[in-house]
Amino acid sequence: MNTVLFERIGGEAAVDAAVNLFYRKVLSDDSIAHFFSNIDMNDQLAKQKSFLTMAFGGPNHYSGRDLREAHAPLVEQGLNDSHFSAVAVHLQTTLQELGVDEALIGEVMAIAGSTHDDILGL
């Protein structure tokens, strides 16, 4: 875990500020929203929070295997690179809107990018 990044970005308060903004963008995007249509929204919001905590370098319980298993049914439904990129863009825009420093955004995006193969089951 990258405590320094997590603290510099604002810790849990930053996650709380970002999570609704981020999840609303994801759900408003018709190219990816259907992947979330059969999921309980409260559970999903909690998962988005863990994801952001991880991407912000904070304490989390994610493992590559968890990501792989959790997304396997979505890969079967056609989850691919374009969807991954769309989510990444929403994350980046969220951070920009919150006024996060570009250098920190770069670090967050690098962590998020490292999940690429596990999420797409590659």
Partner 1 sequence: MLFRQHDICAQDKNETVLDLLIRYKIEVSYSCKSGHCQACLLKCIEGKLSSQAMAGIKETLVAQQYFLACQQSAIDIQQAADVDSELLFRRAQISKKSLLAENVLQLVLQAQQNFSYRAGQFINLKHPLGAIRSYSLASVPNEDGLLELHIKRKIRGTMTSWLFEHARVGDEIDIGQAMGNCFYTVKDLDMPLILIGSGTGAAPLLGIARDAIKHHHQGDIHFYHGAGNIDGLYLHNQLVTLAQNQKNFSYHPCISASQTAPGMMRGRCNDVAMAELNVEQQPRLYICGNTQMVKSTQTSAYVAGVPLQHIYTDPFEYKDLRSIPR
Which residues of the shown chain bind partner 1 in the complex (CB under 8 A)? 20, 23-24, 27-28, 33, 36-38, 41-42, 45
> Which residue, 45 or 110, has its beta carbon nearer to partner 1?
45
As a whole number of angstroms, the distance between CA 26 and CA 32 comes to 7
Nearer to partner 1, 73 or 106 (CB): 73
Give least dist CB 35 to partner 1, A: 13
Output the smallest distance, CB 114 to partner 1, in A.
27
Nearest approach in angstroms of CB 10 to partner 1 is: 20
> Is the backbone of residue 99 left (phi > 0), alpha (psi -120 to 50) or beta?
left
CB of 115 to partner 1, least distance (A): 23
Q: Which is nearer to partner 1, 21 or 120 (CB)?
A: 21
